[in-house]
Amino acid sequence: MEQARTFFVTGGAGFIGSCFVRLVLAEMPAARVVNFDALTYAGNLDNLEGVEEARHRFVRGDVCDPEAVLSSLDGGTDFLVNFAAESHVDRSIHSAAEFVRTNVLGTQVLLDAARAREVGRFVQVSTDEVMGSLPERDDAFFDEESPFAPNSPYAASKAAAEHLARAAHHTHQMDVVTTRCGNNYGPRQFPEKFLPLLLANARGDEPVPVYGDGRNVRDWIYVEDHCRAVLAAALKGKAGEAYNVGARNARQNIEVAESVLDLLGKPRGLLKFVKDRPGHDRRYAIDPAKAERELGWRPRESWESGLRKTIRWYEENGEWVERARSGAYRDYYRKQYGE
């Protein structure tokens, strides 16, 4: 019989965290999840609609508040999986303070709480962006030995969080595992990120803003494949190790935009080149060989199947999109792109 594992997931009302919560409950019939999330502009209880109530407990709380974390974290919890973060690079360019607070201070608070409560394993969900930008050559990849060179305030705050997690392992012998993934796409992504923005604007026949020359490269992965890798790292990863996660799917932004427009049957004339992002990283590409070898993990979706699923989800969930695109999104959109 499967062991009844307990998870404390932070940021589980966000895009990736909510997918992870669903995955754990579906794949591990005896698992229980405490989902701790502050419900910032990016957190959305709609993302948890239909999640089984008996094995899932939602707690609204801030990862920077030690008392709130400690009062919800049971002693001996098997896994603390830290997704909670400010996650949008463009927002970090407007203002970095909240990124330092949540991503750095929040991770330290969680590490301290995990140690106090003797949590079995701490999983830090990080990003390829901590390694900065690769040269524009098809044979350059990030591996686990690539040096840290974060270029945006977001990436710098995630790098700092990783350093704290690493130090907790080294100093306090905590069991810590880190995953570093590339750009996720899929259902329930907050609409200001590139792919959902592209989908929503194209469907509404509105211009799709492409930064700079559109030749920046990102390595795209379907969100559930990323979550399977995080779960594999939690269950099979080696303490103190980091695992790069990617689906060998590095593409220029312009290619991504054209694929989506073609699938939607929309004209490429909708693409609108706009002013580049300051400090825009040119190229990300991940070598996932270590995760494949040591975790026995492989992505299940191809770019084509993942995109088709994503487009279908947004088509079938217009109400979710409408609700997510009201409120904080509107103010941000005006500030970032003008009227």
Chain residues binding ligand NAD by CB under 6 A are 10-11, 13-17, 37-40, 42-43, 62-64, 83-87, 102, 106, 125, 127, 158, 181, 183-184, 190
C-alpha 251 chain-centroid distance: 18
Helices (H), ranges, 117-222: 153-172, 194-203
Beta carbon nearer to ligand NAD, 96 or 266:
96
Beta carbon nearer to ligand NAD, 194 or 270:
194
CA separation, residue 237 to residues 123, 153, 223, 292 (Å): 10, 29, 19, 11
Minimum Å gap between C-beta 111 and ligand NAD is: 14
Catalytic residue among 37, 62, 129, 301: 129
Q: Of these partners, ligand NAD, ligand TYD, none, which one is at the site of residue 216 (CB under 5 to 8 Å by kind)?
A: ligand TYD
Assess 307 for contact with ligand TYD (CB under 6 A). Answer: no
Positions in 156-185 near ligand TYD (CB under 6 A): 183
Beta carbon nearer to ligand NAD, 43 or 187:
43
Q: Of these partners, ligand TYD, ligand NAD, none, which one is at the site of residue 14 (CB under 5 to 8 Å by kind)?
A: ligand NAD
Q: Of these partners, ligand NAD, ligand TYD, none, which one is at the site of residue 37 (CB under 5 to 8 Å by kind)?
A: ligand NAD
Q: Is 185 one of the catalytic residues?
A: no
- Say if residues 51 and 72 touch (Cβ distance below 8 Å): no
CB under 6 A: which stretch of 118-126, 208-216, 238-246, 304-312 binds ligand TYD? Answer: 208-216
Beta carbon nearer to ligand TYD, 132 or 237:
132
Beta carbon nearer to ligand TYD, 79 or 303:
303
For tokens 């929503």, the residue is: 200
Q: Is 129 one of the catalytic residues?
A: yes
Quick count: other Cβ atoms within 10 Å of Cβ 298? 13
Encode 123-135 in three state secondary structure: EEEEEHHHHCCCC
Q: Is 128 one of the catalytic residues?
A: yes
For 51-199, strand residue ranges (E) read 56-60, 79-82, 121-127, 176-181, 183-185
Q: How far apart are CA 45 and CA 52, in angstroms?
A: 13
Quick count: other Cβ atoms within 10 Å of Cβ 217? 20
- Phi then psi for residue 63, to 5 deg, are -65, -15
Beta carbon nearer to ligand TYD, 10 or 183:
183
Assess 89 for contact with ligand TYD (CB under 6 A). Answer: yes
Minimum Å gap between C-beta 51 and ligand TYD is: 25
Q: Of these partners, ligand TYD, ligand NAD, none, which one is at the site of residue 155 (CB under 5 to 8 Å by kind)?
A: none
Helix (H), strand (E) counts: the chain: 13, 12
Tokens of 37: 């999330």
- Say if residues 23 and 44 touch (Cβ distance below 8 Å): no
The residues annotated with a catalytic role in the active site are 128-129, 154
User: Which residues of this protein are in contact with ligand TYD, per CB under 6 A?
Assistant: 89-90, 183, 193-194, 197, 209-211, 216, 218, 253, 277
